[in-house]
C-alpha cells in the first residue's frame, strides 16, 4: 500500500509534465489509459511551445525535463518502433543525453572521498571546467602526477538515489500494465524495464565501465581500424573513471573528416567491419555508438569512448541474427521466417509461409530502393509493426543490439550517404555463416557439445556415489513422482543406455572430423 501511494505521488508529477507537452499518446493503447490522457489534458493544458511538434518530439522534450533516468529510458524506447511507431521512435533516438554541469567543488570532493587523499596528490593539474556533462556524469581533462594526459569521468552527485527511485516507479508501472492491460503483455513491459534497469545500474559503477573498455580493447588488440583508451586503474573507483585522453575528428563531422584528408567511405567501411566483429566474433558490443562517442584518427581508424552501455549476444543468437540479416539482404524471406520460428520469436502455429509473406511485404518497398538508401533500421521498424498479427514476442535482450544498429546506420548515412554499411558487411556475414553453418562449423559445435557433456560427468558420478552411500546406510526412499519418473518408458531407458555406450565413440568421431577438416 505504501509503495502504491509513493509511486502515485511521483506519477502525479510525471503525468503533469508529460501532459503539458501533450505527450500522453502511449496511454491511448488502452481504453482506461485513453480516459486518463483526456483528463490529464484538461487538468494541464499543453504548453504553447509544444504545439505543432510531432508526438515523438513532444515526448522527447518531456523526458528531458523529467531528468536523467527518463532521458536514458527515452533512448531505450527509441528502439521500440513496435510500441511507439516508426516516426516516434526515430524522434526519440535524437534525445540528447546532456545536462548542465555541476560545480568543480563537487567533482573535487568526490575524488577525495573515493581515494582518501587530496586531489593534488593524484593529478598534477585538473581542469575545473568540464569538457562534457551528461545525465550520469561529467568529464574533466587532467594530467596525472606521473605526467599522463587523461580524461576523468566523475559521477553526478546524488544520481544513484534518483535513478533507483525512478526505476522502482517504472517497475511498478510495468507490473500494473502487464496485469491490467493483457494486450501489452506481448511487449514484455516488465522485462523491458528490467533490462533497462540492469543497464543503468551498471552505469552507476564506473569500475564496470572501465572493465568494459578494457575488455573491448583486448578484443580488438592490434586492430588497425579500432581503438579504445587505456584505463588508469589506480585512479579509478566506483564514482571516478580515469582513462587515456584521446583525440580525433568527430565521426559525424563529414567536412572535418574530408578536410583531414580521410576518405569518408573508408571510415564507414571500417565502422561496418568493427560492428560485425563486435557482434559476430566477440559477442560483446558497444551499445551507445552515437557520434559523440566516436572519433576518427588521421589514418581512418575509429576510437570509441563512453562504455557505460554494453551488450552481449550468445552463440545461438549470433547464428539467428546472421541468418536473419543474410536472409533480408538476399531477399530470402522464407529463411527469415524460418529463423524467427526456430528461435521461438514467432509461434510455430503461425506458419512459415504466412510470416515469409509478411516479411516480403515490409522488406520489398525498402530493399527495392537504390543500395545507398536501404535502411535496415527502417526495415526493423516495419517488421515490428506486424508483430501483433503474428504474436511475435519482443526479445528484451536484443533491444541494445537494435539500438546499436540504429545508431551505426545513422553515423554511416551521415558520413557517406552514397554507400550502405550493411551491404559492406554482407561478405563478412556470408563468410561467417559458411564457417558456422558449414561442415567445419557443425563439427566444431558437435565437439563443443560433447566436451560440455563430458564436463558434467564428474558431478553425475559424485551424485551416484552419494546415492550409493545413502543406500548402504539403510536404503533410499523415493518421492512417488520420482519413482514414476524412474519407472518410465522402457524404450526411452534403453535409448539412453545406448547413448551412454556410444557417447565416447561419437566424441572421438567428432574430434577426428574436426582434425580432418582443419
- The pLDDT of residue 287 is 86
- The pLDDT of residue 44 is 83
| pTM score of the predicted model | 0.73
Residue 358 contacts residue 386 (beta carbons within 8 Å): yes
| 412 shares its domain with 445 | no
| 35 shares its domain with 156 | no
- The pLDDT of residue 184 is 66
- The pLDDT of residue 379 is 78
Task: Give the residue-averaged pLDDT of 327-339.
Answer: 89
- Structure letter (DSSP) for residue 394: P
Give, for 98, the enclosing helix (H) or strand (E): none
- The pLDDT of residue 29 is 60
Query: Residue written as cell 547464428?
Result: 319
| 494 shares its domain with 368 | no
Residue 271: CB atoms within 10 Å: 26
Q: Is the pLDDT of residue 108 over 80?
A: yes
- The pLDDT of residue 472 is 60
Task: Give the residue-averaged pLDDT of 125-135.
Answer: 93
- The pLDDT of residue 441 is 52
Find the range with the poorest average confidence among 88-97, 311-320, 346-355, 432-441. 432-441
Query: Which candidate, 340, 506, 517, places its Cα nearest to that of 439?
Result: 517
Q: Is the pLDDT of residue 510 over 50?
A: no
Tell how strand 137-144 and strand 132-133 pair up: antiparallel
Question: Where is pLDDT greater, at 292 or 301?
Answer: 301
Task: Give the residue-averaged pLDDT of 219-227.
Answer: 95
Please provide the size of the chain in residues: 518
Question: Which residues does the annotation mark as catalytic?
Answer: 288
- The pLDDT of residue 495 is 47
Q: Give dist(CA 213, CA 229) in Å, integer.
A: 7
| 471 shares its domain with 324 | no
Q: Is the pLDDT of residue 234 over 90?
A: yes
| 238 shares its domain with 143 | yes
- The pLDDT of residue 407 is 78
74, 96, 118 - which closes a domain: 96
pLDDT tens digits, residue range 386-404? 666 777 666 655 666 777 8
Cell of 411: 553515423
Banded pLDDT at 505 (limits 50, 70, 90):
very low
Banded pLDDT at 450 (limits 50, 70, 90):
low
Banded pLDDT at 471 (limits 50, 70, 90):
low
| 348 shares its domain with 288 | yes
What range does the domain containing 492 cover?
439-517
Q: Is the pLDDT of residue 499 over 70?
A: no
What is the three-class DSSP state of 231? strand
| 354 shares its domain with 390 | yes
Query: Which candidate, 113, 154, 150, places its Cα nearest to that of 136?
Result: 154
Query: Residue 143 to residues 177, 243, 295, 448: CA-CA distances in angstroms?
Result: 50, 11, 21, 48
- The pLDDT of residue 463 is 64
- The pLDDT of residue 179 is 80
Q: Out of 21-30, 214-223, 433-442, give the one with best mean pLDDT.
A: 214-223
Residue 273 contacts residue 412 (beta carbons within 8 Å): no
Residue 83 contacts residue 187 (beta carbons within 8 Å): yes
Query: Which candidate, 348, 369, 463, 496, places its Cα nearest to that of 423?
Result: 369
- The pLDDT of residue 491 is 46
| 347 shares its domain with 445 | no
Query: Residue 161 to residues 6, 164, 331: CA-CA distances in angstroms?
Result: 15, 5, 49
Q: Is the pLDDT of residue 511 over 90?
A: no
| 122 shares its domain with 12 | no
Give, for 155, the enclosing helix (H) or strand (E): strand 149-155
Task: Give the residue-averaged pLDDT of 207-213.
Answer: 96
Average pLDDT, the chain: 80
Q: Terminal CA-to-CA distance of the chain, rounded, Å?
A: 64
| 195 shares its domain with 264 | no
Banded pLDDT at 464 (limits 50, 70, 90):
low
| 421 shares its domain with 449 | no
Domain count of the chain?
4
419, 437, 455 - which closes a domain: 437
- The pLDDT of residue 376 is 74
pLDDT tens digits, residue range 2-34? 777 777 777 788 888 888 888 777 666 666 667
Question: Where is pLDDT greater, at 332 or 69?
Answer: 332
Contacts of the segment 359-368: beta carbons below 8 A, 24+ positions apart? 359/328, 359/333, 359/383, 360/331, 360/333, 361/386, 362/386, 363/328, 363/331, 363/333, 364/331, 367/328, 367/331
| 342 shares its domain with 481 | no
Task: Give the residue-averaged pLDDT of 176-188.
Answer: 71
Banded pLDDT at 320 (limits 50, 70, 90):
confident
Amino acid at each position: 500500500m505504501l509503495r502504491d501511494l509513493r509511486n502515485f505521488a511521483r506519477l502525479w508529477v510525471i503525468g503533469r509534465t508529460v501532459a503539458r507537452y501533450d505527450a500522453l499518446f502511449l496511454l491511448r493503447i488502452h481504453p482506461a489509459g485513453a480516459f486518463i490522457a483526456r483528463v490529464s489534458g484538461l487538468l494541464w493544458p499543453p504548453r504553447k511551445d509544444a504545439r505543432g511538434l510531432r508526438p515523438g518530439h513532444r515526448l522527447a522534450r518531456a523526458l528531458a525535463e523529467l531528468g536523467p533516468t527518463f532521458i536514458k529510458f527515452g533512448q531505450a524506447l527509441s528502439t521500440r518502433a513496435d510500441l511507439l511507431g516508426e516516426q516516434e521512435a526515430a524522434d526519440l533516438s535524437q534525445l540528447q543525453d546532456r545536462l548542465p554541469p555541476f560545480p568543480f567543488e563537487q567533482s573535487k570532493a568526490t575524488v577525495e572521498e573515493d581515494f582518501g587523499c587530496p586531489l593534488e596528490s593524484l593529478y598534477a593539474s585538473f581542469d575545473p571546467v568540464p569538457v562534457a556533462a551528461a545525465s550520469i556524469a561529467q568529464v574533466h581533462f587532467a594530467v596525472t602526477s606521473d605526467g599522463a594526459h587523461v580524461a576523468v569521468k566523475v559521477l553526478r552527485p546524488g544520481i544513484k538515489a534518483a535513478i533507483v527511485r525512478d526505476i522502482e516507479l517504472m517497475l511498478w508501472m510495468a507490473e500494473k500494465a502487464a496485469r491490467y492491460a493483457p494486450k501489452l503483455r506481448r511487449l514484455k513491459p516488465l522485462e523491458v524495464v528490467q533490462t533497462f534497469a540492469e543497464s543503468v545500474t551498471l552505469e552507476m559503477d564506473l569500475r564496470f565501465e572501465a572493465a568494459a573498455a578494457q575488455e573491448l580493447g583486448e578484443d580488438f588488440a592490434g586492430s588497425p581500424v579500432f581503438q579504445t583508451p587505456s584505463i588508469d586503474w589506480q585512479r579509478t573507483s566506483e564514482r571516478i573513471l580515469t582513462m587515456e585522453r584521446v583525440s580525433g575528428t568527430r565521426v559525424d563531422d563529414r567536412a572535418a573528416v574530408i578536410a583531414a584528408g580521410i576518405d569518408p567511405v573508408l571510415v564507414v567501411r571500417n565502422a561496418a567491419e568493427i560492428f560485425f566483429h563486435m557482434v559476430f566474433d566477440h559477442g560483446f558490443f558497444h551499445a551507445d555508438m552515437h557520434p559523440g562517442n566516436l572519433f576518427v584518427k588521421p589514418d581512418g581508424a575509429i576510437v570509441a569512448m563512453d562504455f557505460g552501455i554494453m551488450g552481449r549476444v550468445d552463440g545461438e543468437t549470433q547464428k539467428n541474427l546472421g541468418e536473419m540479416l543474410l536472409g533480408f539482404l538476399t531477399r530470402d524471406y522464407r529463411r527469415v521466417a524460418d529463423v524467427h520460428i526456430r528461435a521461438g520469436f514467432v509461434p510455430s502455429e503461425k506458419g512459415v509461409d504466412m510470416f515469409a509473406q509478411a516479411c516480403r511485404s515490409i522488406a520489398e518497398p525498402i530493399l527495392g530502393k537504390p543500395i545507398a538508401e536501404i535502411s535496415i533500421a527502417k526495415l526493423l521498424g516495419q517488421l515490428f509493426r506486424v508483430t501483433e498479427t503474428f504474436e511475435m514476442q519482443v526479445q528484451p535482450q536484443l533491444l541494445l543490439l537494435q539500438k546499436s544498429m540504429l545508431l551505426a546506420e545513422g553515423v554511416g548515412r551521415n558520413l557517406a550517404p552514397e554507400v550502405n554499411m550493411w551491404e559492406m558487411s554482407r561478405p563478412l556475414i556470408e563468410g561467417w555463416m559458411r564457417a558456422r553453418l558449414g561442415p567445419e562449423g557443425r563439427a566444431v559445435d558437435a565437439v563443443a557439445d560433447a566436451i560440455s557433456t563430458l564436463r558434467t560427468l564428474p558431478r553425475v558420478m559424485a551424485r551416484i556415489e552419494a546415492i550409493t552411500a545413502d543406500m548402504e546406510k539403510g536404503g533410499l526412499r523415493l518421492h512417488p513422482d520420482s519413482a514414476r519418473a524412474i519407472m518410465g518408458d522402457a524404450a526411452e531407458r534403453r535409448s539412453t543406455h545406448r547413448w551412454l555406450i556410444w557417447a565416447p565413440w561419437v566424441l572421438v568421431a567428432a574430434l577426428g572430423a574436426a582434425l580432418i577438416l582443419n
